[in-house]
Structure 1
Amino acid sequence: MNALEVLRREAELLAMSAIGQPPHKGVPACPGLNLGETVRHVGSGYRTALEWIRLGREPGTGEWQEFPTDGEDPLEFMRSGAAAVLAELEAHDEDEPCATWWPVQQNYGFWRRRLAHETTVHRMDVQGAAGMEVGPVTDEVAIDGVDEVLTLWLGHKLDVLGVRGSRDSLVTIQVQDHLWLTRCGPHGASAWRVVDPEDAHLADAQVSASPMTMYRWLWGRLPDRMVQVIGDHDAIAQLWALLRLATK
């Protein structure tokens, strides 16, 4: 996956989908979130990433522009942020070191991938709010997005937040011939790719779907009826609830 090209394309699609749309339109998959706030949030996210890179650490409150200035169009705020972060990421190889919030990956490649998926998910939100058909992504992008939400958000972000599950459980995530095992419980959460398919039989439950459907389901954008589930439904419910906390 060329994350930089995905980011560039998705940022433009998001902007085009938002043009002329009332900002108060709600995002169907995210009650309480509207189109205008989604556009602003993405623009703020681009600036947060730039400050992480510039400062070499997590920026504190007030160290990045979180909101458009008075009279600044929120869509332009988002587009100028996209242009700035694309220019910064293009100027560096993906393996070049820089500060990130994931200890496992301290390089520009982290921000390329993270912002590509951030923009893609919120582009879908904007299209849903606008009443448009949600445009697809390639299987490659969706499968990478599945891996990212499981390993980065479930496997790392929950630990940073200090959030734990109530019971030990293993859930397999299956997308085509790709398999992940997720472990949730009182001792934390983790997720990893399954090398030997036989290992998947250790799980208490399994969730299967096409790449695009699984990508959206894991991000809380689709209901359970859109995926195929077998096994312990409580284990799946715990995974779902923890993902919602991780990606909030």
Structure 2
Amino acid sequence: MLGTEGERLADLAHRTPESTPVPTCPGWTARELTRHVGSVYRATLAWLAQGARPRRWQREPGRGQSVEEYLREGLAALRAELERHDPAERAATWWPADPTYGFWRRRMAHETTVHRIDLQWAAATPFAETSDDIPEDVAIDGVDEALSLWFGQRLPMLGMTGTRVGSVAVRTGGHSWIARAGPTETVAWRCAEGETENADVVVSGRPGQVYLWLWGRAGPWSLDSVDGDYDAAGQLWALLRLATR
């Protein structure tokens, strides 16, 4: 997945003028988005090499190197490093629940997919197409990562909470989750379908659609169904926008 999405992103970077604005990443151009992903690849390699959060890594293309070349070089190096290790092998990460190489495989795959979608949108590719071309299993995994990692872990790390108590059930592709937010907590977990009936609101849609919604790449009311407390659903969407920006 990382390799496929990385190549798609690099091809888009090659075809898109560097000065093209990226609407889903306010203030960014195609060049800055491409540079950002190339930098994240190198930061991940530094995490793996140093066994801790790195302070220094190559954040910009080298002298005479294009931003596309910078991206492709980082992608190749990261893929090679990840392929040398079993996903279950221990590695330093920023999520205590998953200190493995598998964490980085998953994290970089979704980092790349989301920003590929951003660049597709910047290049004027309709959003309906971007949601349909995310494989269902990838989208479901990305829904789980958005809720368990970014909502349940990243928001507390940033010291961000909700302004009101509310629970949201998320349903897609035969899977269900509950995300609960309030002034004192942000937590999320997988659940049985029957458990969703206890939530304040149930949101549902096709996996690709829910993926884009949770990652802030679709509007707050763009899902097929929002059944219940619209404010609770809006709070989840807004909190994830803060966590994943």
Query: What TM-score do the two structures reach when normalised by structure 1?
Result: 0.93
Structure 1 match to 2:61: 68
CA contact (8 A) 1:18 1:127 kept: no
The residue correspondences of 1:161-176 to structure 2 (distance < 5 A) are: 161-176=158-173
Q: Name the amino acid aligned to 1:178.
A: H
**1:78 correspondence with 2:68:** no
Secondary structure of the residue aligned to 1:189 is strand
Shift in CA distance, 158/202, structure 1 to aligned 2, threshold 3 Å: same
SS at match of 2:34: helix
1:149 equivalent to 2:146? Answer: yes
With normalisation by structure 2, the TM-score equals 0.95
Q: Deviations over 1:172-224 (max 9, x none)?
A: 011032110000011110111112x2211111111111000110111111113
Q: Is the 8 A contact 2:213 2:237 kept in 1?
A: no
Higher relative contact order (CA 8 A, sep 6+): 1
1:185 maps to 2:178: no
Secondary structure of the equivalent of 2:15? coil
Q: CA deviation at 1:30?
A: 2.9
1:203 corresponds to 2:203: no
Correspondence 1:34-113 to 2 at 5 A: 34-60=29-55, 63-113=56-106
2:220 and 2:237 in contact (8 A); partners too: no
Root-mean-square deviation over aligned CA pairs? 1.2
Size of the aligned set, in residue pairs, is: 240
Deviation at 1:241, TM superposition (A): 1.4
| Larger deviation, residues 124-133 vs 145-154 | 124-133
Q: In the alignment, is the contact (CA less than 8 A) between 1:30 and 1:221 conserved in 2?
A: no
Unpaired stretches in structure 1, ≥5 consecutive residues:
1-5
Displacement of 1:71: 2.4
- Percentage identity across aligned positions? 48
The answer to whether the 8 Å contact 2:140/2:173 transfers is no
2:211 to 200, 215, 236: 215
